[in-house]
Chains A and B, each alone.
Chain A
Amino acid sequence: MSAVARILEEFAAQGTPTPAGRAAAHALREHSLPTRRDENWHYANLRALEQLTHFSPNPQPSPEMPLPHLPDPLPGFERIVYLDGRLQRQHAATAAALARLHDSGLDAPVSAFEAAGDGRFGLVARMFAPEPLSLRVSGTFALEIISLSSAGAFGHYTDLNIELAPDARLELVEHLAGSGPEAAGAEPSALTCNTLRLRLEAGSQLVHTRLQQAPSSSLLYETVAARLAERATYRLRQLSASAANARSSVQVQLQGRESAVEIQAIAAAQGSHSADTLYTTLHEAPGTRSELLFRGIASERAHAACSADVQVGAEARGSRVLQSLRGLIDGKGAEVNLRPRLTINTDDIQAAHGATTGQLDETLLFYLLSRGLAPEAARSLLKWAFLSEAMGQVGPAALRKRAESAIASRLSDAPAAELLL
């Protein structure tokens, strides 16, 4: 039986679904999940999905289970903690944050992106997420969401809907991590699916950092769908440092005049894992701007991939598109695939894009060796330098340190962080 059929079967056995869950299941039944034949899914590891034996979330988690060690709090941030997709309401910081946030109560309908597009793994999250959360942010807010998954053959799902009121400012950090020691080389035994819908109303601003550190026991699919009204700005820093096969599908719709998205992304893949990301940006209004900077490193036999699909509609006059995709191959069996794609349906546009993949520059390496640096330090330094432009945007300092540590764990050499800018 296929994974989709088993997912639907397990969902049906769960009892009374929410209307959104039911709609998601309906869409999944109709459109199924992507396959490698889908152009944007060629580099995702979908075979591992078929090998999973269970999909449902853990039906009987202990509500009083002590939380594993959490990263140090980020100064000025409220914090929400999930464990296996369940909100840890007994956790004081989580309770405090939830009390301060407004539950919008919205059960957002399944969008076309989720139902039939590249966001289809979001359907699985909506079907199984034990505690969907829908928030509305007004004024200024800083929120960290930590999502931990424990070992075991259960699925981990979160379903988040966040709306920013007009002129609201939100600094959002999402940190996905395993809760236990990482078993090197372990086969994935659990599906992790997270879906996040963002709605930025007029003039609102979102700075969003996603640090992805899925454990090797996970098979990770993440979906982000953002819609921006006029003058809204969305800054996304996506850092993929999972010990697992991971796929992220991000779609940003620039629906309002002069709305803008700026994405800096790093993917570091090691071992035999794949880190695959799709960024789809739809320019649907005049004067919209999108920038994407991607830096991917594949070590050993790993695979890093980035597809960047920008579609500029006829109505998006005076828009601007910038894309810079670069890949670094750091292993004999490693592979990097970059796919920039621009579809432009208006004459009045500024667009620039570049995509390059290669190995460490031997001239730069020799320069550092000729200054007495050890080969491993020199290689490490050049890899960090390669990532520096994207990493440089990550803040505050405590988060930057956490992100650097996460990325370092996915590179074959220890970082020489003190040598970086």
Chain B
Amino acid sequence: MSAPLLKIENLSVSAGGTPVLKGLSLEVNAGEVHAIMGPNGSGKSTLAHVLAGRPGYEVTGGRVSYEGKDLLALAPEERARAGLFLGFQYPVEIPGVNNAYLLKAALNAARRYRGEADIDAFDFLNLVRAKIQTMHIDDAMLARGVNEGFSGGEKKRNEILQMLVLEPRLALLDETDSGLDIDALKIVGQGINSLRSQDRAVVLVTHYQRLLEYVVPDRVHVLARGRIVRSGDRELALELEARGYDWLLEAVPEVA
């Protein structure tokens, strides 16, 4: 069996001096979709951001390897170029920066990292046009500033569009389903499914199992009190939906 695409070993992280992740371990293999669920404040978004390299967190222990490399030693942009994508829970608006050109710059940064030439303008246009159809995004949005004036649902769809264009090996989607109506949820689900392949993996961070109706996970994990406290298959998500998290938390001792 090949090495996992992502291997997190005993990861401990503090934010502002407060421990958030407390010895978290997780393995994600290529070809798999994992869902990480958990109550508010359990550290789900912290995990996604630490993996993507966001400043402001202190890794106090543990290791993370991605494609066999020490992920934590890489700068955020190096992680992105190496194929790690973070879909933001709250995608930022950047007025004045063109949406399409940012996509192109991001794609070319990854291509250069892989030793490939920059994408031809015509090919880029064809690629993006195909992807925006998948995401039901209006052409005109490409010419606007990044997420500028977009609705919450449009921002989330734009995140998935970026993911589809960049074709990352590992996508970390931080509550991509939050704030989406049922139609948008379906579209986002289709977008994620279109990326699934034996060579890639997706980690969905979510509160609810409703996205998992459209994107069926191979593994479901419960993150609570800074650690993975339970793992299972899709049935675990349904059980959480029915019973909530309290029954699990009662069985998990608090770790300092």
Q: Determine if A372 and B81 form an interchain contact, defined as CB atoms under 8 angstroms apart.
A: yes
Inter-chain CA distance A420–B101, complex, in Å, is 8
A330 CB, nearest partner CB in chain B, Å: 16
Note all chain A residues with C-beta closer than 8 A to B94: 364, 367-368, 382, 385
Residues 364-384 of chain A: 1 if any B CB is under 8 Å from the residue's CB, otherwise 0?
101111111111011001101
- CB neighbors of B among A373-399 (8 A): 373-375, 377-378, 381-382, 384-389
B93 CB, nearest partner CB in chain A, Å: 9
A370-B80, A372-B106, A373-B77 known; A385-B96 Cβ under 8 A: yes
B85 CB, nearest partner CB in chain A, Å: 8
Q: Which of A367, A372, A420 contacts B92 (CB 8 A)?
A: A367
CB of A347 closer than 8 Å to a CB of B: no
Q: Determine if B54 and A372 form an interchain contact, defined as CB atoms under 8 angstroms apart.
A: no
Nearest-CB residue, chain A, relative to B79: A370
Question: Which size class do B's interface residues fall under?
Answer: 20 to 34
Q: Determine if A421 and B81 form an interchain contact, defined as CB atoms under 8 angstroms apart.
A: no
Nearest-CB residue, chain B, relative to A417: B101
Note all chain B residues with C-beta closer than 8 A to A378: 77
Q: Determine if B54 and A366 form an interchain contact, defined as CB atoms under 8 angstroms apart.
A: yes
Q: Determine if B77 and A372 form an interchain contact, defined as CB atoms under 8 angstroms apart.
A: yes
Note all chain B residues with C-beta closer than 8 A to A416: 105
Q: Determine if B80 and A372 form an interchain contact, defined as CB atoms under 8 angstroms apart.
A: yes
Q: Determine if B92 and A419 form an interchain contact, defined as CB atoms under 8 angstroms apart.
A: no
Note all chain A residues with C-beta closer than 8 A to B54: 366, 370
Q: Determine if B96 and A389 form an interchain contact, defined as CB atoms under 8 angstroms apart.
A: yes
CB of B39 closer than 8 Å to a CB of A: no
Max chain A Cβ within 10 angstroms of own Cβ: one of B86, B91, B94:
B94
Inter-chain CA distance A386–B95, complex, in Å, is 8
Note all chain B residues with C-beta closer than 8 A to A419: 97-98, 101-102, 105
Note all chain B residues with C-beta closer than 8 A to A60: none
A377-B105, A419-B102 known; A369-B97 Cβ under 8 A: no
Residues 55-68 of chain B: 1 if any A CB is under 8 Å from the residue's CB, otherwise 0?
11000000000000
Residues 39-64 of chain B: 1 if any A CB is under 8 Å from the residue's CB, otherwise 0?
00000000000001111100000000
Q: Determine if A372 and B95 form an interchain contact, defined as CB atoms under 8 angstroms apart.
A: no
Note all chain B residues with C-beta closer than 8 A to A363: 92
Q: Determine if A386 and B92 form an interchain contact, defined as CB atoms under 8 angstroms apart.
A: no
Inter-chain CA distance A371–B106, complex, in Å, is 5
Nearest-CB residue, chain B, relative to A375: B77
Q: Can you identify 17 A-B contacts, CB atoms within 8 angstroms?
A: A362-B55, A366-B54, A367-B91, A367-B94, A368-B94, A369-B77, A382-B97, A385-B94, A385-B97, A385-B145, A387-B96, A419-B97, A419-B102, A420-B97, A420-B98, A421-B97, A421-B98
Question: 9 tightest A-B contacts by CB?
Answer: A388-B96, A385-B96, A372-B109, A372-B80, A371-B106, A369-B76, A372-B81, A369-B77, A419-B101
